[in-house]
Amino acid sequence: MADDGCCSTQLIDGDGVFNVTGIDSFIKEVKLGECGLSYAVVSIMGPQSSGKSTLLNNLFNTNFREMDAFRGRSQTTKGIWLAKCAGIEPCTLVMDLEGTDGRERGEDDTAFEKQSALFALAVSDIVLINMWCHDIGREQAANKPLLKTVFQVMMRLFSPRKTTLMFVIRDKTRTPLENLEPVLREDIQKIWDSVPKPQAHLETPLSEFFNVEVVALSSYEEKEEQFKEQVANLRQRFFHSIAPGGLAGDRRGVVPASGFSFSAQQIWKVIKENKDLDLPAHKVMVATVRCEEIANEKFSSFSGNEYWLALEEAVQIGPVAGFGKKLSSIIDTCLSEYDAEATYFDEGVRSSKRKQLEEKLLQLVQPAFQTLLGHIRSGTLDKFKEAFDKALDSGEGFSAAAADCSQSYMSLFDERCADAVIELANWDTSKVRDKVRRDIDGHISLVRDAKLSELTAFYEAKLKEALSGPVEALLDGANSETWPAIRKLLRRETESAVSGLSDALSGFDMNEETRNKMLTNLEDYARGVVEAKAKEEAGRVLIRMKDRFTTMFSHDSDSMPRVWTGKEDIRAITKAARSSSLKLLSVMAAIRLDDSDADTIETTLTVALVDSTGGAVKDRSITTADPLATSSWEEVPPKKTLITPVQCKSLWRQFKNETEYTVSQAIAAQEANKRNNNWLPPPWAIVALVVLGFNEFMTLLRNPLYLGVIFVAFLLVKALWVQLDISGEFRNGALPGLISLSTKFLPTVMNIIKKLAEEGQAPAANNPQRNPALASKNYQNGVNASSEMSSTGSSEITENDNSSSSKQD
pLDDT (tens digit per residue) in 456-465? 888 889 988 9
pLDDT at position 34: 82
- Name the band, by pLDDT with cuts 50, 70 and 90, for residue 793: very low
Tell me: the pLDDT tens digits for 692-726? 877 777 777 777 777 777 788 888 888 888 887 77
CB of 584 closer than 8 Å to CB of 548: yes
pLDDT at position 569: 84
Identify the burial level of 508 via C-beta atoms within 10 angstroms of its C-beta, where 0-12 means exposed, 13-18 middle and 19 or more buried. Answer: middle
DSSP state of 389: H
**Percent of the chain at pLDDT exceeding 90:** 6
Chain mean pLDDT for the chain: 78
pLDDT at position 523: 87
Listed residue (757, 739, 760) closest to 749, CA to CA: 757
Residue type, 77: T
| 109 pLDDT higher than 80 | no
Per this entry, what is the length of the chain? 809
pLDDT at position 101: 59
| 146 pLDDT higher than 80 | no
Tell me: the pLDDT tens digits for 604-655? 888 888 766 544 444 444 445 777 777 778 778 888 888 888 888 888 888 8
Separation between Cα atoms, residue 380 and residue 406, nearest integer Å: 10
Per DSSP, the residues of 193-229 read HHS---GGGTT--GGGTEEEEEEE---TTTSHHHHHH
Separation between Cα atoms, residue 549 and residue 656, nearest integer Å: 10
pLDDT at position 208: 80
- Name the band, by pLDDT with cuts 50, 70 and 90, for residue 807: very low
> What are the phi and psi torsion angles at 495 (to 5°)?
-60, -40
CB of 117 closer than 8 Å to CB of 154: no
- Name the band, by pLDDT with cuts 50, 70 and 90, for residue 161: low
pLDDT at position 104: 59
- Name the band, by pLDDT with cuts 50, 70 and 90, for residue 798: very low
Where does 589-623 have alpha helices with state H? 601-605, 612-614
Higher pLDDT, 177 or 801: 177
pLDDT at position 76: 64
| 69 pLDDT higher than 80 | no
**CA 90 centroid distance within chain:** 50
Separation between Cα atoms, residue 435 and residue 14, nearest integer Å: 59
Edge-to-edge strand order for the sheet containing 2-3?
Answer: 2-3, 6-12, 80-84, 91-97, 39-45, 126-132, 163-170, 210-216
Which secondary structure element, helix H or strand E, spans residue 12, and what is its range? Answer: strand 6-12
Separation between Cα atoms, residue 28 and residue 257, nearest integer Å: 11
Separation between Cα atoms, residue 62 and residue 474, nearest integer Å: 109
pLDDT at position 616: 43
| 56 pLDDT higher than 80 | yes
| 243 pLDDT higher than 80 | yes
Backbone dihedral region for residue 626 (phi beyond 0: left; psi -120 to 50: alpha; all else: beta):
beta
CB of 244 closer than 8 Å to CB of 152: no
CB of 530 closer than 8 Å to CB of 464: no
Separation between Cα atoms, residue 581 and residue 761, nearest integer Å: 79
| 49 pLDDT higher than 80 | no
Tell me: the pLDDT tens digits for 114-138? 788 888 887 888 999 888 787 776 6
Residues whose CB falls within 8 Å of the CB of residue 299, separated by 6 or more in sequence, listed in order = 334, 357, 360, 361, 364
Buried b (16+ CB within 10 A) or exposed e, 689-713: eeeeeeeeeeeeeeeeeeeeeeeee
Average pLDDT over residues 15-31: 90
Three-class DSSP category at 9: strand
Separation between Cα atoms, residue 679 and residue 800, nearest integer Å: 43
**Percent of the chain at pLDDT exceeding 70:** 80
Per DSSP, the residues of 74-110 read -----SEEEEEPSS-SSEEEEEEEPPBS-TTT-SS--
- Name the band, by pLDDT with cuts 50, 70 and 90, for residue 805: very low
| 159 pLDDT higher than 80 | no
CB of 51 closer than 8 Å to CB of 220: yes
| 162 pLDDT higher than 80 | no
Tell me: the pLDDT tens digits for 348-400? 878 888 899 988 898 898 888 888 888 888 888 888 888 888 888 887 777 88
Average pLDDT over residues 538-567: 84
| 194 pLDDT higher than 60 | yes
| 276 pLDDT higher than 50 | no
- Name the band, by pLDDT with cuts 50, 70 and 90, for residue 21: very high
Q: What is the dihedral of CA 738, 742, 747, 751, to 10 degrees?
A: 50
* Number of Cα atoms under 13 Å in the Cβ half of residue 255: 16
pLDDT at position 259: 67
Terminal-residue alpha carbon distance, the chain:
129
pLDDT at position 786: 34
- Name the band, by pLDDT with cuts 50, 70 and 90, for residue 775: very low
Sign of the Cα pseudo-torsion (265, 266, 269, 274, in order):
negative
Identify the burial level of 303 via C-beta atoms within 10 angstroms of its C-beta, where 0-12 means exposed, 13-18 middle and 19 or more buried. Answer: middle
| 659 pLDDT higher than 60 | yes
DSSP state of 560: P
**CA 195 centroid distance within chain:** 53
CB of 709 closer than 8 Å to CB of 681: no
